[in-house]
Structure 1
Amino acid sequence: MTTAPEAPATQTSAVTVVPSYVRDAWWTPDTEALGSGRGAQVRDASTGELLAVVNADGLDLAGMVEHARTVGQKSLGELTIHERALKLKELAQYLNGRREEVYALSSKTGATKIDSMVDIDGGIGVLFTFGSKGRRELPNTNVIVDGPMENLSKDGSFAGEHIYTRIPGVAVQINAFNFPVWGMLEKFAPAFVAGVPTIVKPATPTGYVAEAMVRLMVESGILPAGSVQLVSGSARTLLDELDYRDMVSFTGSAGTANMLKSHPNVVHGGVRFTSETDSLNAAILGPDAGPGTPEFDAFVKSVVTEMTVKAGQKCTAVRRTIVPQEFVDDVVAAIGARVTERVVVGDPRAEGVTMGALASLEQLHDVRGAVESLVAAGGRIAFGSLEAPEVVTASGEKSVVADGAFMAPVVLTWDDALAPALHGTEAFGPVSSVIGYSSLEEAVQLAALGAGSLVASVCTNDPATAQALVTGIAAHHGRVLVLNREDAKSSTGHGSPVPHLVHGGPGRAGGGEELGGIRSVKHHMQRTAIQGSPNMLTAVTGVWHTGADRNLADTDDPSTHPFRKSLAQLRIGDAVRSGLRQVTLEDITAFANETRDTFYAHTNEEAAAANPFFPGIVAHGYLLVSWAAGLFVSPEPGPVLANYGLENLRFITPVPAGDSIRVTLTAKEITPRVTDEYGEVRWDAVLTNQDDEIVATYDVLTLVAKEWPVPVAEG
């Protein structure tokens, strides 16, 4: 075994060996393993040229897991969620400037420039998204509070709630061949924000592209030690090294997923396992969306796009095109016409090519075999052929390339729309079946026969049809796109998962979820119920809890007011309690007249008294909230730079004329911004009346300077 701090191009017989990245160093097998002929050969999908050898013989998988659990966990744990999210943004900016290097490699996989953009730019975009969402939606700590406190005692001395903390192990990410960059980064990003180190295991045929991206990630110098490692080649015994502290995220075939899920360490050892597997996705055309409508055109365009982007090698591609029976021939003809007009098959490096090769000759063999089995089960090829197509070569000439993994788009039709093979066999290439339905109920039934899918599209401009189809199929799918004339141009498309929303599906699709915004960060964390006194819950979470100690300001000393404290001085529990202010009928009437909010509860004594909720005319809730601001604010310029809103407002006890109110304001949560000279402070606001009954509760949100006076920059 050889290791080196840098990543030189390792050669054997003039062929590159794809290295692994192990314990913060690049690694390739020793000379004996390289000379043995073992390992997998990786070839250019368009020409058959030998590109590299992939061999992981002798790789210390146990050492990689231990390195992640120790060095990786420690280095990531030294950063807060916001600091890790910021590093993702920095990494995305770095990779954006180097992505052309990866584009050049991606074309060797058969990917066109658009295919590569979806994979590479899409993956970098995931980093940007989580870099932003992590800082906007999560605290600048390593503990996430999940939901409100539950009071568990009469006197408030014992309470409980839930928190999220990162799992203490490693996230093993096993990826498919079709998206070597996006597939890796969409798993890496949420794990990194959560603070969990990653071991990436890309699929062998395109793993050299993933290795190139990991190389750039390492060269950036942005990532903490141990936060990412790469296995290039077989990792058959990797699950042997995992336990309940770790998780596996798998994308690939259902057969491989089932094999991994049956591993003793998953079944008995508590290894968390989530998968995204085979998916016979559907696109359903509504009865209202016949030929000549904008919906019909958008539908055909979507189906052809899903058949041809990445040569149909997408887990989200449309495999079953479900249309009203009377439109079957129209849809087949329209798909064929669009393919003929717009799809040019060939080497993606050639000018004008819009669909490249499949990833390998083995993949081509598998797809052809799947189509042949579908034909044997009752399908008919209505458009296209399984013959090797004439394609555009890199030189611009047209010919049949014997060593290229090229396949023309194929459309199948069926007499029996219920044929089991139709709903059970996935041809993972540029292939789709068009089948007819006679009612919306039958369309729902056909979609559900996929036994769980990642995504479906419903194309209609009729709200009732959309409602019936979406609610009918939703439980069978992870995502549903409703396509019509209003969103046809702005839609991200049937086959484009976005990092904001969950990516996954039930049943055959694997039963897992990837992405999903902050949900996917929490996939890498443990939710724990904690119980204790409000003071102890405050200490654990860093968020002030009702009933915990307060540090009340001295009302005779304005300098102790929490609004006079910068973030450097402010502490959780710092509070101020105002004096009472009486509400008069004149105040209520003036507010009603000024705002034109003359709702009868504020203006009509008889009607208000007849309402079971009011004792008579009562003050407007917004009058009370406005007064509360005047009661707690410190008006002179100071560290509190701005009030940017309030949340969770609840009005609890009505306030009639003659009652008085006061406000107690407590620093609840302090979130310094990593990149700015200020941070957010969330204040717990409680309005009470003269009898200490709670009138209203809410959170006040402010921006507060880290230091005050703000230091003057030199120069």
Structure 2
Amino acid sequence: MSATPMPRAANAEGAIADPAASLDCRPFSKGLYIDGRWQKASQAHTIPVIDPATEDLLAEVADATVDDARRAVDAAAGAARAWRLTSPRQRSEILRTCYRLMIERSDMLARLVSLENGKALPDARGEIAYAAEFFRWNAEEAVRIPGELGRAPSGGNRILVDYEPIGIAVLITPWNFPAAMATRKIAPALAAGCTVILKPASETPLTAYALAGLYEEAGVPPGVVNVITTSTPGPVTAAMLGDPRVRKLSFTGSTGVGRQLLAEAAKTVLSSSMELGGNAPFLVFDDADLDAALDGAMVAKMRNAGEACTAANRFYVQAGIHDDFVAGLVGRMGALKVGPGSDPSTACGPMITAKAVDKIDRLVADAVARGAKVVLGGRRPEGKGFYYPPTVLIDVSPDAEMAREEIFGPVAAIYRFETQEQAIAWSNDTEYGLASYIFTRDLKRGLAVASEIESGMIALNRGLVSDPAAPFGGVKQSGLGREGGAHGVLEFLEAKYIATSF
């Protein structure tokens, strides 16, 4: 089979089509959003936001300093008491309005995500719907904050447990889901009664700023949500985490950065939630429904062009179905049109940066050097934009770097296995444990394998695991805590025990 890269989507004149290029991104770069107002940073330096499809400048955003970070904490502290005392019903109604406004403006928001992130428009639309759902879900959770009343075993007193807002929260989000990673943290924090400072990734800050204006319109009071961007995240984040008024850190990103933040948070014994890296195995047993497995593989691998922590990273396919699965996956991935994410015909957009493409290229070259065969793609294209073609590798060595490291791109690495025990052992041979995928017609086997795989989330006979109503998170080096479901709000609450004699 050919190892030639896929062509990018082009119009009749041969130029790459980009119908969303007319969206003016500059209105979403009005400054830092602090205390309900757009404010200038303390320095004139700005951060460029680059379109990964064309490498053109979309906009420039403010570059916050340590002083700006302190102003954001001041604003959150100033709004904390009033928001804490706001009734659950009122908080719920505001969150519900956020949901409504996001749905009403979903087309514009999806185009903005597609431009600054590069993801295909169908994926961007899916992300906005998913992101909005966190507001609807947590609007319902806001009025269901739990409490407990029990009698002490001695009979001498009652045990009253109240759940209170944990306090000011610093939220740090990545570039790969600029809308959903923000709302997945903001919505439960606000439902719990916390005020927040959001620091989005500097690669994709425009969506966060667009949503900040939406929150204001929905009735979120000044200071409850603050958004700052910075090119010096280390000192800026340290300044916020070192402030004794800050009591919560919620971070989504790499395991390496997560370890550094945990060390910083330890200095003030800060409650920390961490959603870190993944290395998801995708197991296909001989008895699997082949079409269902291929459908699931395309979702698990190619959602957001593979730039997801839940993306299938290692395809373990049993010997009896291996060749048919490979042929089917090559056919499906080879049919994907590569081009600007904002082009409606695109199925696989660009990667986020040139550095990301370099990493993918390095991992593929290493796998080939260790004996892997390229049956689709495998070569970065020339020209503008940070592209890498859909790629399928077979006979990948368990010693390849991509067996241990997140690929974060449209590369399917396939390993042949013989026994169930071998598949489980290979799946668990990683420091990560975020998501896993299992395909088998035997439900008993599926549940047995799921119970042995060291992973916080399992998708059984489906390629999508994320759901706002379910607890999202991992084990081992993939993180601490959970987001989504009833667990998401609890991350922003503290239990207070009151002993009373009534």
Provide the TM-score with structure 1 as the length reference.
0.63
Cα 1:10–1:276 shift into 2, 3 Å: closer
Residue 123 of structure 1 pairs with residue 121 of structure 2? no
Question: Corresponding residue for 1:151?
Answer: 152
Residue 359 of structure 1 pairs with residue 352 of structure 2? yes
Residue 42 of structure 1 pairs with residue 49 of structure 2? yes
Q: 1:445 aligns with which of 412, 421, 425?
A: 425
Q: 1:199 aligns with which of 162, 177, 197?
A: 197
Residue 480 of structure 1 pairs with residue 458 of structure 2? yes
Question: Corresponding residue for 1:349?
Answer: 342
What secondary structure, in the 3-state scheme, does the structure 1 residue paired with 2:472 have?
Answer: strand
Q: Is the 8 A contact 1:75 1:225 kept in 2?
A: no
Q: CA deviation at 1:160?
A: 2.0
Structure 1 window deviating more from structure 2 (375-384 vs 193-202): it is 375-384
Q: CA deviation at 1:375?
A: 3.4
Cα 1:232–1:240 shift into 2, 3 Å: closer
Map 1:387-466; keep pairs closer than 5 Å.
387-388=380-381, 402-414=383-395, 416=397, 418-419=398-399, 421-466=401-446
Question: How far apart are the structure 2 equivalents of 1:531 and 1:152?
Answer: 13
Q: Greater share of helix residues, 1 or 2?
A: 2
The Cα offsets for residues 469-500 of structure 1, whole Å up to 9 and x where unpaired, read as 11111xx11111111xxxxxxxxx53441111
Question: How far apart are the structure 1 equivalents of 2:234 and 2:205?
Answer: 16
What secondary structure, in the 3-state scheme, does the structure 1 residue paired with 2:393 have?
Answer: strand
Residue 160 of structure 1 pairs with residue 178 of structure 2? no
Q: 1:511 aligns with which of 480, 490, 496?
A: 480
* Percent identity for Structure 1 against Structure 2: 23
What secondary structure, in the 3-state scheme, does the structure 2 residue paired with 1:224 have?
Answer: coil
Question: How far apart are the structure 2 equivalents of 1:375 and 1:260?
Answer: 35
Q: Is the 8 A contact 1:384 1:409 kept in 2?
A: yes
Question: How far apart are the structure 1 equivalents of 2:128 and 2:434?
Answer: 21
Question: Corresponding residue for 1:61?
Answer: 69
Cα 1:248–1:270 shift into 2, 3 Å: same
Q: CA deviation at 1:211?
A: 1.2
Question: Corresponding residue for 1:661?
Answer: none
Question: How far apart are the structure 2 equivalents of 1:171 and 1:42?
Answer: 26
Q: Is the 8 A contact 1:285 1:459 kept in 2?
A: yes
Q: Greater share of strand residues, 1 or 2?
A: 1
Structure 1 window deviating more from structure 2 (355-364 vs 205-214): it is 355-364
Map 1:240-639; keep pairs closer than 5 Å.
240-242=239-241, 243=244, 245-263=246-264, 266-289=265-288, 295-341=289-335, 343-388=336-381, 402-414=383-395, 416=397, 418-419=398-399, 421-473=401-453, 476-483=454-461, 493-515=462-484, 517-533=485-501, 535=502
RMSD between aligned residues = 2.3
Question: Corresponding residue for 1:589?
Answer: none
The aligned amino acid for 1:165 is E
What secondary structure, in the 3-state scheme, does the structure 1 residue paired with 2:58 have?
Answer: strand
What secondary structure, in the 3-state scheme, does the structure 2 residue paired with 1:111 have?
Answer: coil
Question: Corresponding residue for 2:17?
Answer: none
Question: Corresponding residue for 1:222?
Answer: 219
Residue 101 of structure 1 pairs with residue 108 of structure 2? yes
Q: Is the 8 A contact 1:17 1:28 kept in 2?
A: no
The aligned amino acid for 1:260 is L
Question: How far apart are the structure 2 equivalents of 1:194 and 1:471?
Answer: 32
Question: How far apart are the structure 1 equivalents of 2:500 and 2:375?
Answer: 68
Question: How far apart are the structure 2 equivalents of 1:149 and 1:245?
Answer: 32
Cα 1:376–1:41 shift into 2, 3 Å: farther
What secondary structure, in the 3-state scheme, does the structure 1 residue paired with 2:388 have?
Answer: coil
Cα 1:245–1:347 shift into 2, 3 Å: closer
What secondary structure, in the 3-state scheme, does the structure 1 residue paired with 2:375 have?
Answer: strand
The aligned amino acid for 2:137 is T
Q: CA deviation at 1:328?
A: 2.5
Provide the TM-score with structure 2 as the length reference.
0.88
The aligned amino acid for 2:467 is V
Cα 1:426–1:377 shift into 2, 3 Å: farther
What secondary structure, in the 3-state scheme, does the structure 2 residue paired with 1:262 have?
Answer: helix
The Cα offsets for residues 205-264 of structure 1, whole Å up to 9 and x where unpaired, read as 11112211212222x14112211000122343333333485111111111111111121x
Q: CA deviation at 1:181?
A: 0.5
Higher RCO (C-alpha 8 Å, min separation 6):
2
Cα 1:17–1:129 shift into 2, 3 Å: closer
Q: Is the 8 A contact 2:120 2:344 kept in 1?
A: no
The aligned amino acid for 2:458 is V
The Cα offsets for residues 357-388 of structure 1, whole Å up to 9 and x where unpaired, read as 11222322232233333434554323222231
Cα 1:299–1:149 shift into 2, 3 Å: same
Unaligned runs of 5+ in 2: 1-23
Question: How far apart are the structure 1 equivalents of 2:379 and 2:477?
Answer: 27
Residue 21 of structure 1 pairs with residue 21 of structure 2? no
Question: How far apart are the structure 1 equivalents of 2:344 and 2:164?
Answer: 51
Q: 1:91 aligns with which of 91, 98, 112?
A: 98
Q: Is the 8 A contact 2:178 2:207 kept in 1?
A: yes
Question: How far apart are the structure 2 equivalents of 1:196 and 1:227?
Answer: 8
Unaligned runs of 5+ in 1: 1-8, 290-294, 389-399, 484-492, 536-715
What secondary structure, in the 3-state scheme, does the structure 2 residue paired with 1:505 have?
Answer: coil
The aligned amino acid for 2:31 is P
Question: Corresponding residue for 2:5?
Answer: none
Question: How far apart are the structure 1 equivalents of 2:38 and 2:72?
Answer: 12
Cα 1:16–1:518 shift into 2, 3 Å: closer
Question: How far apart are the structure 1 equivalents of 2:46 and 2:324?
Answer: 49
Question: How far apart are the structure 1 equivalents of 2:456 and 2:390?
Answer: 26
What secondary structure, in the 3-state scheme, does the structure 2 residue paired with 1:48 have?
Answer: coil
Q: Is the 8 A contact 1:257 1:275 kept in 2?
A: yes
What secondary structure, in the 3-state scheme, does the structure 2 residue paired with 1:320 have?
Answer: strand
Question: How far apart are the structure 2 equivalents of 1:101 and 1:340?
Answer: 30
The aligned amino acid for 2:98 is L
Q: CA deviation at 1:275?
A: 1.2
Q: CA deviation at 1:80?
A: 2.1
Q: Is the 8 A contact 2:32 2:41 kept in 1?
A: no
Q: CA deviation at 1:450?
A: 2.8
What secondary structure, in the 3-state scheme, does the structure 2 residue paired with 1:107 have?
Answer: helix
The aligned amino acid for 2:96 is K
Question: How far apart are the structure 1 equivalents of 2:347 and 2:459?
Answer: 25
Q: Is the 8 A contact 1:165 1:526 kept in 2?
A: yes
